[in-house]
Amino acid sequence: MDPVLAGVALLVVAGSVGVVSLRDARAALLALAVVLVGSPLLADPPVAPLGLAARSIGAVLAVYLLWIATRGRKDPDGDPVPTEGSRIGWPADVLLAAAAGVAGATVLGPSVPGAGAGWPGAAGLAGAAGFALGVLSIAPILTGRDVLRIGLGLIVLVDAGSLIRTALGGSPTSFEHLLSAGLLVTVAGVLTALVMAARVQGTAGLALVADSRPAGRRSSDVRPVGPG
């Protein structure tokens, strides 16, 4: 097993944990950049320069679009509006990713090209990372209540599919990398449009639906008025 590729795989999985668990939207986007840039490197033979360039440009463009969408999003106190983050906490996300990675390596092991010679290699690591990313993406997609969290989950899921395809079919062609980059940018573009639409409608945060309840006193703040 190549220690450099193993380090890249760990970095990709760690980045995905950051994407789904961080509440700071900008920090989550930086973690997403790590995931999208590192994923194409988990291939054997190595990715052709043209394919790597396409994926890298697509990753940077996708993150930049989301960065623009979150810029200037402030709460009433003037602080950056957070995304939901993880409901179970990052330690639990780490355990889920580790378990999924082991499961992915076990399930894909016999199917990975060259599994009998020094496995896990780049393809085996890609399969393990793909399973980890896929599991981590489920909670944001199914339980997310803000548009950014759901969108980040979808992007992580797309990247997970790309990694599993690499594990099963070998290094993708440059054309496949170009298609993957286009898909990532498309998802990011749609997500950016949704966030910007929420801003136009006056939604301060990233919630899918603005709170339409009229502002008023809480029941605990209401006091009976006595004589005098």
Which residues 6+ apart lie within 8 Å of 178 measured at CB? 51, 54
Q: What is the pLDDT of residues 172-186, one digit of tens each?
A: 888 999 999 999 999
pLDDT tens over the chain, length 228 residues? 678 888 899 999 999 999 999 888 888 999 999 999 999 988 877 888 898 999 999 999 999 998 888 876 655 555 555 677 777 788 889 999 999 988 887 777 555 555 544 556 777 888 889 999 999 999 888 887 788 888 899 999 999 999 998 888 888 888 999 999 999 999 999 988 887 776 666 554 555 544 444 444 444 444 555 554
Q: How far apart are the first and last CA of the chain?
A: 82
* Lookup: tokens for 200: 């136009």
Cα–Cα distance for residue pair 78/126, rounded to 1 Å: 41
Cα–Cα distance for residue pair 28/6, rounded to 1 Å: 23
- Residue-range domain boundaries for the chain: 3-209
Instruction: Please work out, in degrees rounded to the nearest 5, the angle formed at the alpha carbon of residue 154 by the alpha carbons of 140 and 32.
Output: 85
The number of helices, as runs of H, and strands, as runs of E, in the chain is 7, 0
Percent helix, percent strand, percent coil in the chain, to nearest 5: 70, 0, 30
Closest C-alpha among 84, 77, 125 to residue 105: 125
